[in-house]
Structure 1
Amino acid sequence: MTASSTRRTTAAQSRIAAVGAIAVAGALLLTGCGDQTEDKDSGGSDSASTSSAPLADQLPKAVRDKGVIKVGSDIAYAPVEFKDDSGKTVGIDPDLADAMGKQLGVKFEFENGTFDTLLTGLRSKRYDIAMSAMTDTKDRQEGIDADTGKKVGEGVDFIDYFTAGVSIYTKQGDDQGIKTWEDLCGKKVVVQRNTVSNDLAKAQAKECPSGKKLSIEAFDNDQQAQTRLRAGGADAGSSDFPVAAYAAKTSGGGKDFEVVGEQVEAAPYGIAVAKSNTELSKALQAALDAIIKSGEYDKIIAKWGVEAGAVKEATLNGGK
């Protein structure tokens, strides 16, 4: 997700880029509804041991002693993170966290929260990190509110682990000729609040000609936006491509939605860490590099059918 604190990237600079067709695996579980209350779920291996883990000594001592990294995440964003039918947190992020946890000898404990509160939770030390399809942007790195241009915090560091763009989707068989953001003029679009999709919609609304107003309805999470569109309350929705593609494949048995047009705003997802916690950032970067080199990263990305978004190395603050 991208944000003003954008969930993905700021709408001010449109970098149109096709990330490539990401085929969402047909065997994925249907999305469970993640509430926005505190909900802890360990993404780490029960057998993780700091004494035997190869990178345990790189962690801050307090984290090693605790044996847990608390992760703030909006667990309603399939296939990146979501609840399966049993209520377990699953997806790309939990799988990557589990693999990194084995390198570091700790468990990654996911706690559910609305996306636009995750960085606040990180600042208040409720979480050690935020891992939630969060786009690495300069504004977030510097603690700048993208809407106002004002500094709202000290900013965060990002360990970049995936790349994704933003897509538009409509009800299946009813795209109303919508292929681009310009085509949304005169229409109503639903998005998740404080995401790149939200920012892009607001930027496009300023460009629409008189008499063709773009109406925007923003929700706390992407599932609420999908429900609104499914019920006929909007003409289109927008979210990150992996999420839009997953919804098109699974919602209503694949009969509810279709993705239209090309992806835009290709940008990296990053694990957010407080700037003061450089030791933890370096440990996470080393753990991500380790699973990339071992091939475990590629196996996880392939499991979820999103190989086109894979990275070749763990980059620190690669967002623009």
Structure 2
Amino acid sequence: MTARTQRTRLLAAGVAAVSVSLVLSGCSSSKSSEGGGAPNASATVNAVKADDKLVALVPADVKSAGKLVVGADASYAPDEFKDDSGKVIGMDVDLADAIAAKLGLKAEVQDSGFTAIIPGIQSNKFQLGMSSFTDNKEREQVVDMVTYFNSGSAIAVKKGNPNKIDPKDLCGKKVAVQTGTTQADEIKDTRNPDCAKAGKPGIQNDGDKFDLQTDVTNAVVSGRDDAMMADSQVVDYAIKQSGGQLEKLGDTYGVAPYGVALAKGSKLTPAVQGAIQSLIDDGTYKQILTKWGVEAGALDKSTVNGAVS
């Protein structure tokens, strides 16, 4: 995987305009994250108290440090992105804070390139990776994945679809995606082979790949690319923030769960799973998702390494 390059962020927090942040990796199981209310970053969420039974599951070294260091690629709203002050905010950040609180800890969320997060977990730089990772068998070979959200893939184009893009036939088109995502793999492994079988030219360059999702959105708004593919709730958020410059094309598809990534076999894994389930059961989880307008992606049960593909 390539490292991400530093790029100028044209849109922060909920500031409108041309640039919009997007997500990574396509997603979830039985529910779709399509829809949801308008995000409200200033909405309050109930204070989370430590759960003594869960605190007892926290390994001694983590407990003594008093914190969970969390890696997140803060380039795609509403899951994780930077506000005007440069602070990392979003659904995953609020959930990380709540998970840590349940375990009697504080969360320290660090901005990181997406493709550097799992290696960072393996090297002990991060205890958790919360960056819209789809839970799949490939990732479960190298990290534990604790499910916490449902998402799918979606496609967006310029308002009015001036290039008459067909979501079921992107052959020969220029399609923007973020590097290292499920959507990038979908183009390379599924869509372009299907184009070849049909005797059509493939999506150009196996997708026009960018290190930041903000750049993916900008590529479509500016007319550089015909369409973009990303996680469904990120596409929905980008459309809301684009000032009428983008529209969704077709339906959400490929629904699968997101997972919190932890070191393979980590003693912290059952504590994190228990914390997420407790947040689901006491209603805090739903409050956080509603705050960010992604409540349609809520799941009822958190599982460990439950990917089916």
Fold in common (TM above 0.5) = yes
Q: What are the residue-to-residue correspondences of 1:15-34 with 2, within 5 Å?
A: 19=32, 21-27=34-40
Q: Which residue of 2 aligns with 1:198?
A: 184
Shift of 1:176: 2.9
The one-letter code of the counterpart of 1:70 is V
2:100 aligns to what?
A: 101
* Pair 1:157-2:144 in alignment: yes
Per the alignment, residue 283 of structure 1 pairs with: 271
Listed one character per residue, the Cα deviations across residues 206-238 of structure 1 (whole Å, up to 9, x for unaligned) are 211435331121111211111122211110001
Contact kept, 8 Å, 1:171 with 1:230, in 2: the verdict is yes
Q: What are the equivalent positions in structure 2 for 1:159-178 lying under 5 Å apart?
A: 159-174=146-161, 176-178=163-165
How far 1:201 moved relative to its partner? 1.5
Kindly provide the CA deviation profile for residues 223-254 of structure 1, in whole angstroms up to 9, marking residues without a partner as x: 11111222111100010001111010002xx2
Alignment pair present for 1:301 and 2:299: no
Whole-Å separation in 2 of the counterparts to 1:261 and 1:178: 10
1:149 maps to which residue? none
Residue type of the alignment partner of 1:140 = R
Q: 1:16 to 1:49 in 2, by over 3 A?
A: closer
- Once the two structures are superposed, residues 65-84 of structure 1 have per-residue CA deviations (whole angstroms, 9 ceiling, x without a partner) of 00111111111110001111
TM-score with structure 1 length normalisation? 0.80
Quick one: distance in 2 between partners of 1:90 and 1:83? 6
Question: Is the 1:185–1:205 contact (alpha carbons within 8 Å) kept by the matching residues of 2?
Answer: yes
CA shift for structure 1 position 26:
5.0
Q: Is the alpha carbon distance of 1:175 and 1:118 closer, same or farther for their aligned partners in structure 2, counting shifts above 3 Å?
A: farther
Superposition deviation, residue 271 in structure 1: 0.3
In structure 2, the partner of 1:311 is 299
Rate the CA distance shift 1:276–1:135 in 2: closer, same or farther, 3 A.
same
Question: Which residue identity lines up with residue 156 of structure 1 in the other structure?
Answer: V
Distance 1:48 1:20 in 2: 25
Shift of 1:178: 2.6
Query: Could you tell me how far apart the structure 1 residues matched to 2:277 and 2:29 are?
Result: 28
Q: Structure 1 residues 316 and 16 mapped into 2: Cα distance closer, same or farther (>3 Å)?
A: closer
Contact 1:167-1:240 at 8 Å conserved across structures:
yes
Counterpart of 1:55 in structure 2: which amino acid?
L
Which residue matches 2:175?
Answer: 189
Question: Mind listing any 5+ residue stretches in structure 1 that lack a counterpart?
Answer: 1-6, 30-44, 143-154
Offset at residue 263 of structure 1 (A): 1.2
RMSD: 2.5
Select the residue among 237, 246, 264 that pairs with 1:246: 237
Question: Do the aligned partners of 1:160 and 1:316 also contact (CA within 8 Å) in 2?
Answer: yes
Aligned sequence identity (%): 36
Aligned counterpart, 2:75: 76
Residue in structure 2 matching 1:292, options 274, 280, 287: 280
Unaligned runs of 5+ in 2: 1-23
Q: TM-score, normalised by structure 2?
A: 0.83
| Equivalent residue in structure 1 for 2:208, among 214, 217, 227 | 217
The structure-2 alpha-carbon separation of the partners of 1:282 and 1:186, relative to structure 1 and needing over 3 Å to count, comes to same
Deviations 1:1-38 (A, max 9, x none): xxxxxx5369xxxx998726322515458xxxxxxxxx
Distance 1:132 1:235, change over 3 A: same
